Amino acid sequence: MTNKNGVLAVVGAYTLWGFLPLYWKSVQAVPAFELLCHRMVWAFLFVALLLARRGQWEWLRQARKNPVTLITFLGTACILALNWFTYIWAVNTGHIVDASLGYFINPLFSVLLGVLFLGERLRRWQWIAIGLAASGVIFLTLGYGAFPWIALTLAITFGFYGLLRKTAPLGALEGLSLETAVLFLPALAYLVYLESVGAASFGHTGATIGILLALTGIATALPLLWFAYGTRRATLTTVGILQYIAPTLQFLLGVLVYGESFAKTRMIGFCVIWIALLIYSLEGVMEGRKRTMRQSVS
Protein backbone atom coordinates (compact mmCIF):
# COMPACT_ATOMS: atom_id res chain seq x y z
CA MET A 1 0.00 0.00 0.00
CA THR A 2 1.31 3.42 -0.94
CA ASN A 3 2.28 5.79 1.86
CA LYS A 4 1.78 9.53 1.26
CA ASN A 5 5.14 10.43 2.81
CA GLY A 6 6.82 7.80 0.66
CA VAL A 7 5.37 9.28 -2.52
CA LEU A 8 6.42 12.79 -1.46
CA ALA A 9 9.95 11.55 -0.77
CA VAL A 10 10.20 9.92 -4.22
CA VAL A 11 8.80 13.04 -5.90
CA GLY A 12 11.31 15.16 -3.98
CA ALA A 13 14.22 12.94 -5.00
CA TYR A 14 13.32 12.94 -8.70
CA THR A 15 12.63 16.68 -8.65
CA LEU A 16 16.05 17.42 -7.14
CA TRP A 17 17.70 15.17 -9.74
CA GLY A 18 15.70 16.95 -12.43
CA PHE A 19 16.96 20.38 -11.40
CA LEU A 20 20.54 19.22 -10.77
CA PRO A 21 21.76 20.68 -14.10
CA LEU A 22 21.14 24.14 -12.64
CA TYR A 23 23.52 23.28 -9.82
CA TRP A 24 26.30 21.96 -12.05
CA LYS A 25 25.92 24.93 -14.37
CA SER A 26 26.45 27.25 -11.40
CA VAL A 27 29.93 25.74 -10.87
CA GLN A 28 30.69 25.40 -14.58
CA ALA A 29 33.99 27.26 -14.10
CA VAL A 30 35.34 24.24 -12.23
CA PRO A 31 36.72 21.46 -14.52
CA ALA A 32 34.48 18.38 -14.64
CA PHE A 33 36.99 15.98 -13.09
CA GLU A 34 37.79 18.35 -10.24
CA LEU A 35 34.07 18.82 -9.66
CA LEU A 36 33.65 15.05 -9.58
CA CYS A 37 36.36 14.74 -6.92
CA HIS A 38 34.68 17.39 -4.78
CA ARG A 39 31.42 15.49 -5.12
CA MET A 40 33.12 12.31 -3.89
CA VAL A 41 34.87 13.97 -0.94
CA TRP A 42 31.95 16.04 0.35
CA ALA A 43 29.43 13.22 -0.17
CA PHE A 44 31.55 10.92 1.98
CA LEU A 45 31.87 13.54 4.73
CA PHE A 46 28.11 14.16 4.68
CA VAL A 47 27.08 10.48 4.92
CA ALA A 48 29.80 9.80 7.51
CA LEU A 49 28.32 12.60 9.62
CA LEU A 50 24.85 11.05 9.33
CA LEU A 51 26.20 7.66 10.37
CA ALA A 52 28.08 9.19 13.29
CA ARG A 53 24.89 10.87 14.55
CA ARG A 54 23.03 7.57 14.38
CA GLY A 55 25.93 5.49 15.70
CA GLN A 56 25.43 2.99 12.89
CA TRP A 57 28.83 1.34 12.45
CA GLU A 58 28.08 -2.36 12.97
CA TRP A 59 27.65 -2.96 9.24
CA LEU A 60 31.22 -1.81 8.58
CA ARG A 61 32.71 -4.66 10.60
CA GLN A 62 30.51 -7.17 8.79
CA ALA A 63 31.46 -5.73 5.39
CA ARG A 64 35.18 -5.99 6.17
CA LYS A 65 34.76 -9.71 6.88
CA ASN A 66 32.98 -10.33 3.58
CA PRO A 67 35.25 -9.97 0.50
CA VAL A 68 32.28 -10.31 -1.86
CA THR A 69 30.65 -7.25 -0.31
CA LEU A 70 33.84 -5.22 -0.60
CA ILE A 71 34.35 -6.25 -4.24
CA THR A 72 30.72 -5.51 -5.06
CA PHE A 73 30.91 -1.99 -3.65
CA LEU A 74 34.28 -1.38 -5.26
CA GLY A 75 32.51 -2.12 -8.53
CA THR A 76 29.51 0.09 -7.76
CA ALA A 77 31.84 2.91 -6.69
CA CYS A 78 33.71 2.79 -10.01
CA ILE A 79 30.46 2.64 -11.99
CA LEU A 80 29.03 5.53 -9.98
CA ALA A 81 32.16 7.61 -10.60
CA LEU A 82 31.89 7.06 -14.36
CA ASN A 83 28.18 7.93 -14.29
CA TRP A 84 28.74 11.09 -12.25
CA PHE A 85 31.64 12.27 -14.44
CA THR A 86 29.73 11.66 -17.67
CA TYR A 87 26.70 13.54 -16.37
CA ILE A 88 28.68 16.52 -15.05
CA TRP A 89 30.69 16.76 -18.28
CA ALA A 90 27.51 16.48 -20.40
CA VAL A 91 25.71 19.23 -18.49
CA ASN A 92 28.63 21.64 -18.53
CA THR A 93 29.40 21.13 -22.23
CA GLY A 94 25.85 21.73 -23.47
CA HIS A 95 24.52 18.17 -23.67
CA ILE A 96 21.71 18.22 -21.10
CA VAL A 97 19.21 16.86 -23.66
CA ASP A 98 21.53 13.92 -24.42
CA ALA A 99 21.88 13.27 -20.69
CA SER A 100 18.11 13.31 -20.22
CA LEU A 101 17.77 10.74 -23.00
CA GLY A 102 20.00 8.42 -20.99
CA TYR A 103 17.63 8.53 -18.04
CA PHE A 104 14.61 8.04 -20.29
CA ILE A 105 16.25 4.87 -21.64
CA ASN A 106 17.50 3.64 -18.26
CA PRO A 107 14.23 2.07 -16.95
CA LEU A 108 13.90 -0.12 -20.03
CA PHE A 109 17.59 -1.05 -19.93
CA SER A 110 17.19 -2.01 -16.26
CA VAL A 111 14.28 -4.27 -17.18
CA LEU A 112 16.46 -5.95 -19.81
CA LEU A 113 19.24 -6.49 -17.24
CA GLY A 114 16.70 -8.16 -14.97
CA VAL A 115 15.94 -10.63 -17.75
CA LEU A 116 19.59 -11.32 -18.53
CA PHE A 117 21.00 -11.57 -15.01
CA LEU A 118 18.13 -12.17 -12.58
CA GLY A 119 16.02 -14.58 -14.61
CA GLU A 120 13.04 -12.22 -14.73
CA ARG A 121 10.47 -12.80 -17.46
CA LEU A 122 8.95 -10.07 -19.56
CA ARG A 123 5.40 -9.88 -20.80
CA ARG A 124 4.65 -9.26 -24.47
CA TRP A 125 4.04 -5.51 -24.22
CA GLN A 126 7.21 -5.07 -22.19
CA TRP A 127 9.21 -6.67 -25.02
CA ILE A 128 7.44 -4.36 -27.48
CA ALA A 129 8.41 -1.33 -25.39
CA ILE A 130 12.06 -2.40 -25.26
CA GLY A 131 12.07 -3.03 -29.02
CA LEU A 132 10.62 0.43 -29.70
CA ALA A 133 13.19 2.08 -27.44
CA ALA A 134 16.00 0.25 -29.24
CA SER A 135 14.55 1.44 -32.55
CA GLY A 136 14.53 4.99 -31.28
CA VAL A 137 18.20 4.79 -30.29
CA ILE A 138 19.11 3.33 -33.70
CA PHE A 139 17.15 6.09 -35.46
CA LEU A 140 18.93 8.76 -33.44
CA THR A 141 22.27 7.22 -34.33
CA LEU A 142 21.58 6.98 -38.06
CA GLY A 143 19.43 10.07 -38.50
CA TYR A 144 21.44 12.46 -36.34
CA GLY A 145 24.73 11.11 -37.65
CA ALA A 146 26.31 10.61 -34.23
CA PHE A 147 26.32 7.70 -31.83
CA PRO A 148 24.39 8.73 -28.65
CA TRP A 149 27.28 7.71 -26.39
CA ILE A 150 26.39 10.14 -23.58
CA ALA A 151 22.85 8.77 -23.25
CA LEU A 152 23.94 5.15 -23.51
CA THR A 153 26.82 5.59 -21.08
CA LEU A 154 24.46 7.07 -18.48
CA ALA A 155 21.78 4.43 -19.08
CA ILE A 156 24.22 1.50 -19.00
CA THR A 157 26.20 2.66 -15.96
CA PHE A 158 23.10 3.49 -13.90
CA GLY A 159 21.46 0.26 -15.01
CA PHE A 160 24.40 -1.89 -13.87
CA TYR A 161 24.69 0.20 -10.71
CA GLY A 162 21.06 -0.56 -9.88
CA LEU A 163 21.59 -4.25 -10.66
CA LEU A 164 24.58 -4.55 -8.33
CA ARG A 165 22.90 -2.54 -5.57
CA LYS A 166 19.80 -4.72 -5.84
CA THR A 167 21.84 -7.81 -5.02
CA ALA A 168 24.18 -6.12 -2.47
CA PRO A 169 23.57 -6.78 1.27
CA LEU A 170 23.86 -3.17 2.54
CA GLY A 171 21.15 -0.55 2.86
CA ALA A 172 21.04 2.77 1.00
CA LEU A 173 22.96 4.90 3.54
CA GLU A 174 25.47 2.19 4.41
CA GLY A 175 26.08 1.33 0.76
CA LEU A 176 26.54 4.96 -0.24
CA SER A 177 28.94 5.38 2.69
CA LEU A 178 31.07 2.46 1.55
CA GLU A 179 31.04 3.63 -2.07
CA THR A 180 32.08 7.17 -1.21
CA ALA A 181 34.68 5.80 1.24
CA VAL A 182 36.26 3.87 -1.65
CA LEU A 183 36.34 7.03 -3.76
CA PHE A 184 37.32 9.41 -0.95
CA LEU A 185 41.10 8.95 -0.73
CA PRO A 186 41.85 9.02 -4.50
CA ALA A 187 39.59 12.07 -4.89
CA LEU A 188 41.14 13.85 -1.90
CA ALA A 189 44.65 13.06 -3.17
CA TYR A 190 43.84 14.65 -6.52
CA LEU A 191 42.40 17.76 -4.88
CA VAL A 192 45.51 18.06 -2.68
CA TYR A 193 47.66 17.71 -5.81
CA LEU A 194 45.74 20.52 -7.54
CA GLU A 195 46.26 22.71 -4.49
CA SER A 196 49.99 21.96 -4.46
CA VAL A 197 50.43 23.04 -8.09
CA GLY A 198 48.22 26.11 -7.73
CA ALA A 199 45.45 24.81 -9.96
CA ALA A 200 42.72 24.21 -7.37
CA SER A 201 39.36 25.96 -7.57
CA PHE A 202 38.28 25.59 -3.95
CA GLY A 203 39.22 28.71 -2.02
CA HIS A 204 40.60 30.44 -5.13
CA THR A 205 37.50 31.20 -7.23
CA GLY A 206 35.36 33.14 -4.79
CA ALA A 207 33.29 32.31 -1.74
CA THR A 208 30.19 31.37 -3.72
CA ILE A 209 31.96 28.67 -5.72
CA GLY A 210 33.62 27.37 -2.55
CA ILE A 211 30.30 27.05 -0.75
CA LEU A 212 28.65 25.37 -3.73
CA LEU A 213 31.51 22.87 -3.98
CA ALA A 214 31.14 22.04 -0.27
CA LEU A 215 27.40 21.55 -0.71
CA THR A 216 27.86 18.96 -3.49
CA GLY A 217 27.85 16.33 -0.75
CA ILE A 218 24.31 17.25 0.28
CA ALA A 219 23.20 17.64 -3.35
CA THR A 220 24.48 14.11 -3.98
CA ALA A 221 23.33 12.26 -0.87
CA LEU A 222 20.00 13.92 -0.05
CA PRO A 223 18.00 12.76 -3.11
CA LEU A 224 19.49 9.27 -2.77
CA LEU A 225 18.34 9.06 0.85
CA TRP A 226 14.89 10.44 0.00
CA PHE A 227 14.64 7.90 -2.81
CA ALA A 228 15.62 5.02 -0.51
CA TYR A 229 13.06 6.16 2.07
CA GLY A 230 10.31 6.59 -0.50
CA THR A 231 10.77 3.31 -2.37
CA ARG A 232 10.23 1.39 0.86
CA ARG A 233 6.85 3.08 1.37
CA ALA A 234 5.47 3.49 -2.16
CA THR A 235 4.43 0.81 -4.62
CA LEU A 236 6.85 -0.09 -7.42
CA THR A 237 4.22 0.96 -9.96
CA THR A 238 4.07 4.44 -8.43
CA VAL A 239 7.86 4.72 -8.31
CA GLY A 240 8.07 3.49 -11.91
CA ILE A 241 5.76 6.23 -13.17
CA LEU A 242 7.36 8.97 -11.07
CA GLN A 243 10.87 8.15 -12.31
CA TYR A 244 10.23 10.14 -15.50
CA ILE A 245 10.04 13.40 -13.53
CA ALA A 246 13.83 13.78 -13.49
CA PRO A 247 14.64 13.30 -17.20
CA THR A 248 11.59 15.37 -18.19
CA LEU A 249 12.79 18.32 -16.09
CA GLN A 250 16.32 17.87 -17.44
CA PHE A 251 15.04 17.81 -21.01
CA LEU A 252 12.96 20.96 -20.48
CA LEU A 253 15.92 22.77 -18.90
CA GLY A 254 18.15 21.80 -21.81
CA VAL A 255 15.73 22.99 -24.49
CA LEU A 256 13.88 25.90 -22.86
CA VAL A 257 16.48 27.36 -20.48
CA TYR A 258 19.81 26.61 -22.11
CA GLY A 259 18.63 26.60 -25.75
CA GLU A 260 20.13 23.27 -26.76
CA SER A 261 19.40 22.06 -30.27
CA PHE A 262 16.36 19.85 -30.74
CA ALA A 263 16.07 19.30 -34.47
CA LYS A 264 13.33 17.31 -36.20
CA THR A 265 15.45 14.15 -36.37
CA ARG A 266 16.09 14.19 -32.64
CA MET A 267 12.44 14.92 -31.95
CA ILE A 268 11.35 11.83 -33.91
CA GLY A 269 13.85 9.62 -32.08
CA PHE A 270 12.79 10.98 -28.69
CA CYS A 271 9.10 10.51 -29.55
CA VAL A 272 9.67 6.84 -30.37
CA ILE A 273 11.38 6.35 -27.00
CA TRP A 274 8.61 8.29 -25.20
CA ILE A 275 5.99 6.05 -26.82
CA ALA A 276 7.97 3.01 -25.63
CA LEU A 277 8.01 4.40 -22.09
CA LEU A 278 4.27 5.13 -22.24
CA ILE A 279 3.56 1.56 -23.34
CA TYR A 280 5.80 0.20 -20.59
CA SER A 281 4.19 2.38 -17.90
CA LEU A 282 0.59 1.68 -18.95
CA GLU A 283 1.30 -2.04 -19.15
CA GLY A 284 2.72 -1.94 -15.63
CA VAL A 285 -0.33 -0.09 -14.28
CA MET A 286 -2.78 -2.49 -15.95
CA GLU A 287 -0.88 -5.55 -14.78
CA GLY A 288 -0.82 -4.13 -11.25
CA ARG A 289 -4.60 -3.66 -11.31
CA LYS A 290 -5.12 -7.21 -12.57
CA ARG A 291 -2.92 -8.54 -9.79
CA THR A 292 -4.85 -6.54 -7.20
CA MET A 293 -8.18 -7.81 -8.51
CA ARG A 294 -6.96 -11.43 -8.44
CA GLN A 295 -5.79 -11.00 -4.85
CA SER A 296 -9.10 -9.45 -3.78
CA VAL A 297 -11.05 -12.30 -5.36
CA SER A 298 -8.91 -14.98 -3.76
Residues of the chain with pLDDT under 70: 1-3, 144, 232, 235-238, 240, 297-298
The residues near 101 (Cβ < 8 Å, ≥ 6 apart) are: 140, 148, 150, 151, 247, 251, 270, 273
CB-facing half-sphere around the CA of 100: CA atoms within 13 A: 27
Per-residue model confidence (pLDDT) at position 298 = 62
Per-residue model confidence (pLDDT) at position 113 = 86
**177: closest CA among 9, 28, 54, 11?**
54
Per-residue model confidence (pLDDT) at position 235 = 66
**173: closest CA among 215, 233, 217, 228?**
228
Per-residue model confidence (pLDDT) at position 293 = 79
145: left (phi over 0), alpha (psi -120 to 50) or beta: left
CB-facing half-sphere around the CA of 15: CA atoms within 13 A: 7
Per-residue model confidence (pLDDT) at position 195 = 95
Could you tell me the residue ranges of all domains in the chain?
Answer: 4-297
**91: closest CA among 244, 213, 224, 250?**
250
Per-residue model confidence (pLDDT) at position 110 = 83
Q: What SS3 class is residue 258?
A: coil
